[in-house]
Each structure stands twice: as C-alpha cells, then as structure tokens.
Chain A
C-alpha cells in the first residue's frame, strides 16, 4: 500500500466524520476538526520557523556588523514586550510592542485602502464607457445610493425626532435595495459553490465504496 492509498483512505474516513455533523454535533465531527487544527498548527509552525524566522536570524545575527545584529534582535525585543500584555501590573510595558505593530499596520491599511480600493474604484465608477452609458449611469447612481444608505446624519424635526430630508431618504431606500440584491447574489454564488464541493465529496465517497 503506497502513501497515496493511505491518503485516500484517511480522506474517505475524515470526509465521513465531517459529514456526520448532518446528524448533529457529535464526537466524530469534533475529532476530525481537532485532527485538522493539530495538523495545520504543526504545518504553520514549520513554515513560520523554516521560511521566516530562520532566514531572518541567519542573515542578521550571523553578520559581522553590530548594527545588523541589533536589527536582527529587534523583533525578539518587540515579541518580549508583547508578552508583558498578559501581566496586569506590567501590561503598560507591552503597549510599546502593540504600538509598533498598530502604527505600521494602520499605515499599511491606509495605503492599501487608498491605492487598492478608493482611487481605482472611484476612477472606474466615474468613467462611463462608450456604448454602455445607461449601465454606467445606473452603476454610478447605485454606488452613490449604497453609500448614502450608510450615512446616519439627520436633522431633528419640531418634535425633536431625527428626520432625514426626502431625497436622502429616497436614495437610502434605493441603496438598501442595491445592497440587498448584491448580498443575495453573493449568497447564491456561495450556495452554488458549496453545492459543487458537496457533490464532488459525495462522488469521492461513492467512488471509494
């Protein structure tokens, strides 16, 4: 029996164990999930150590320049600082490690949102292709309406209740409809995808039998 044959048998058993969830939460399903978590944790730790940590420490700590060695130790220092977060008395020291990651993370998020989403999508929405003017205008209107749906600025009326002006309310209803249609389409796509995967798994099980 080759390694591939063993893999097929293990895959068959694990698929059955996961599908047993259709009868309700049970031991077999949980065992399959714990096997999965253990394997993924093992693999992630191997990849992290072999592909990220060892090359970094190899390139920095083995260098002759003290500055490079210092840089190499910095992640260890920040990692140690993060461990202080679990202490109630010395938790404030860990804030420095968090601040390092949050500052860089916020900058990456802003740059990514600006260059990856805001500028390209705004430019694309504002550009109407020749021959598809109506679709272009409808998309522009739909985008504007869906953004207006998510704003909650309102004036208070004579009774002191918040009330949005009529055009904003109308646009908001259109925006809600656009978002509902979008989520419905995404939901349907998820159903089709999961049904395809489910039928593939059933085919695998029947093939195994």
Chain B
C-alpha cells in the first residue's frame, strides 16, 4: 500500500510538473485573450513557473553529474585499494583527474592549456581513427550479402567521395552530387527528423498522461 502511494505520487508529480512546464514553454504573451481565461498575466505566471522548474531541474542534473564523477573517482580509488586488475589505468585516471583539479586551483591558465592539449590531441586522433572504421564498415556492407539497398548505399558513398576529389575530371560528378544532396538527401533527412520528432512527442505524451511508467520500475 505504501509503495502504491509513492508510485501514485510519482505519477501525479510527473503529470503536474510536465503540464506546467509544457504550457509555460508553449504559451507566449501574443496568444493572450484578456477577455477569456488566458490573460497575459496568467501566461506570464506559467512562463515564470516553467523557468523556475527548469532551473531546479538543471541544478538537480548538475548535482547528479557531480555525484556521478565522485562515484567514478570512488570506484577507481576502490580498485586501487583492492589492487584489482588494470591498476595502472585507475592510477592514470586519478592522476589526470587530480592534475586538472589542482592546476585549476593553482593556475587556471595552465589548467586550460593542459585540457586543450590533451582533449584536442585525443579527440582528433580518435576522430582520425574513425576513418579506418568507416571504410572497413563500408567494405563489410558488401562482403556478406549483396542486396539492392547495400549496393545503393555504397554507390552513393563512392559517388560523393569521387566528387570530393580535387581533380578536374571530378567536375562532371558535381551536378549529380549536388542534386542528390538537394533532393533525396534533403527529403530523407527531413523524413528522419520528422520521424524522430513524432516519436519524441508520442513518448512524451505517454509519459505525461501516465501510460508509460517504466521509469518507476
């Protein structure tokens, strides 16, 4: 019974807060009808309330991120204490974490240079490695079974890559590439975005009206 009461409270909280924030975000003063129920004052109150709730949610999320990072540090300290396998990785992680925090307290400029250097180097090197994974993936697409979809997929990749070559003979491919990007790719991207948006709205409404309660499990 006690558990059900908490579950009902959670559902009510989700629906109430969600509806307030939704109205606060969607209603703007230009839809105000001062003779009806939706006066400009009421809309402004909804906007203010939505702002406040969004601020509370942002701070709560920031707090959970901070707790998550503390947990990461605690897990690696625990591995260090237990002398678990892969100890060196935990040591490296904790040292780099400590270097950033300490250098930020002592000298902010140095901390930013350290972060920029490591972040830029590792991120760009990882993005460079992606090239090999992508090319291998395209090769694998045709390696197992040849279907019309896979042939079309690889043909589009080859065409766009050839058109990107900085040689004179590639000019003939430019109109085809431009048409592909302007018409079918534009349509496909819009279709995918609309599909994602429709899915988001349906899932959001299901959560707000209490049909989807998987977050309570």
- Interface residues in chain A, defined as those with a beta carbon under 8 Å from any beta carbon in chain B: 3-4, 7-8, 10-12, 14-15, 18-19, 21-22, 27, 30-46, 48-49, 52-53, 56, 71, 74-76, 78-79, 82-83, 92-93, 95-118, 121-122, 124-125, 135, 138-143, 145-147, 149-150, 175-195, 197-198, 200-202
Chain A nearest CB, measured from B148 CB (Å): 8
- Interface residues in chain B, defined as those with a beta carbon under 8 Å from any beta carbon in chain A: 2-3, 6-7, 9-11, 13-22, 25-26, 52-67, 69-70, 72-73, 88-90, 92-101, 104, 109-111, 113-132, 134-135, 138, 149, 152-157, 160-161, 164, 180-198, 200-201, 203-205, 207-208, 215-216
B contacts with A: majority SS: helix
> Is B192 touching A11 in the complex (CB atoms < 8 A)?
no
> Is B17 touching A107 in the complex (CB atoms < 8 A)?
yes
> Is B116 touching A118 in the complex (CB atoms < 8 A)?
no
Inter-chain contacts of B13 with A (CB < 8 A): 96, 99-100, 103
Inter-chain contacts of A178 with B (CB < 8 A): 184, 187-188, 191
> Is B118 touching A10 in the complex (CB atoms < 8 A)?
yes
Cross-chain contact of B157 among A103, A111, A191 (Cβ < 8 A): A191
> Is A147 touching B194 in the complex (CB atoms < 8 A)?
yes
Q: Roughly how many angstroms separate A195 CA and B180 CA in the complex, as a whole number?
A: 22
Task: Give the 9 A-B CB pairs with smallest separation, nearest first.
Answer: A142-B187, A182-B188, A146-B191, A184-B156, A38-B96, A42-B100, A198-B128, A18-B125, A188-B160
Q: Which residue of B lies closest to A97 (CB)?
A: B60
Pairs A–B under 8 Å by Cβ, sample size 29: A18-B122, A22-B132, A35-B92, A39-B97, A42-B98, A42-B99, A42-B101, A44-B65, A53-B63, A75-B63, A79-B64, A92-B6, A98-B216, A99-B14, A101-B57, A107-B208, A118-B198, A135-B182, A138-B183, A143-B190, A145-B191, A179-B188, A180-B152, A182-B188, A185-B180, A187-B157, A188-B161, A191-B131, A194-B131
